[in-house]
Amino acid sequence: MSALSESLRAGREPAVQSVWARRFGVFWRSWETRISTLLLLVMIGVALVPTSVWPDTAFDSNLTLRHREPGLLMGTTDYLFGADALGRDVFFRILMGTKLTLLIAGLATLFATIIGSAAGLCAAYFRGWVDMVVSRLVDIMLAFPILLLVLALVAALGQSVSSVIIVLALSGWAGYARVIRSATLSLVEREFVEAARCTGARSGHILLRHLLPNVASPILVLSTLNLASFILTESSVSFLGLGPQPPAVTWGALIGDGRNYMYDAWWATLFPGLAIILTVLAFNLVGDAMRDAFDPHTRQ
């Protein structure tokens, strides 16, 4: 208010800031968010590198280099994070694992978002038995110990990349459905929905063109936080040996491999875990910052 009256007094046009500029201002204000965003961009860049580009030392076993100590400790850059039980370069294996780790979490999040948002929107819009069925299903899904459900389903469907993605999506949609349902419930009563109905808009049109854009911000925030939790779940599944099978590489699987030799070569276990922690942390920080940015009550 004071900025407005000040500029009026000075005879200037009041500076009009777009909603998105304000949101970005809130989002970008803390250095944690900036570092996290940059880190995630670098990660995505690494994930996009074709597998053939990585040096042979990441794939080929070389038993003369078995459990070679990290170059980091010896002040050299070769084998920066050491070598694993087969003499493979841990540093490049972590970089290689970025692709599958992010791909699984990303696609599973995409599918969970689509299923969960559709279920939540429909439950709130149609009410009645649709709401009844969706709400009971959400109750049921949220009661399952997710990791146990995921492990059992992956074991049954086969330990492949696609089955991990499907199982994560099937087990993770309920959280979205619950949030999107309650966000939509308050919108359905608003005038613009009634106005759309009066002009003869079909349900599908109202759902996609009027309601969906209004719940886009919680969907975006949830998806970001969900990426973090899917990375954690997938890494647990892979660590326990029920994830995609070699030569597929994810960070969780690297820790699972390293675990058997962790007394002799701790580096093969330690470094992949740091990759998981940093990535999950970055997604959580970016998600929190997005939540603040979309919240109209946050002061800039």
Residues that bind other proteins (CB under 8 A): 136-137, 139-140, 142-149, 151-153, 155-157, 228, 232, 235-236, 239-242, 252, 255, 259, 262-263, 266, 269-270, 273, 276-278, 280-281, 284-285
User: Residue 117: which residues within 8 A CB-CB, separation 6 or more?
Assistant: 176, 177, 180, 212, 215, 219
| Rounded least distance, CB 235 to other proteins, Å | 5
Closer Cβ to other proteins, 4 or 38, answer by number: 38
Closer Cβ to other proteins, 211 or 265, answer by number: 265
Residue 14: asked if its preceding bond is cis (omega within 30°), the reply is no
Q: Phi, psi (5° rounding) for residue 89?
A: -70, 115
In this structure, the number of other CB atoms found within 10 A of the CB of residue 3 comes to 10
Closer Cβ to other proteins, 42 or 140, answer by number: 140
C-alpha 255/C-alpha 161 separation (Å) is 18
Cβ(138)–Cβ(174) below 8 Å:
yes
Residue type at 114? I
| Rounded least distance, CB 23 to other proteins, Å | 22
Closer Cβ to other proteins, 218 or 258, answer by number: 258
C-alpha 238/C-alpha 101 separation (Å) is 10
| Rounded least distance, CB 278 to other proteins, Å | 8
C-alpha 81/C-alpha 205 separation (Å) is 54
Cβ(92)–Cβ(115) below 8 Å:
no
| Rounded least distance, CB 72 to other proteins, Å | 17
Closer Cβ to other proteins, 113 or 229, answer by number: 229
| Rounded least distance, CB 198 to other proteins, Å | 31
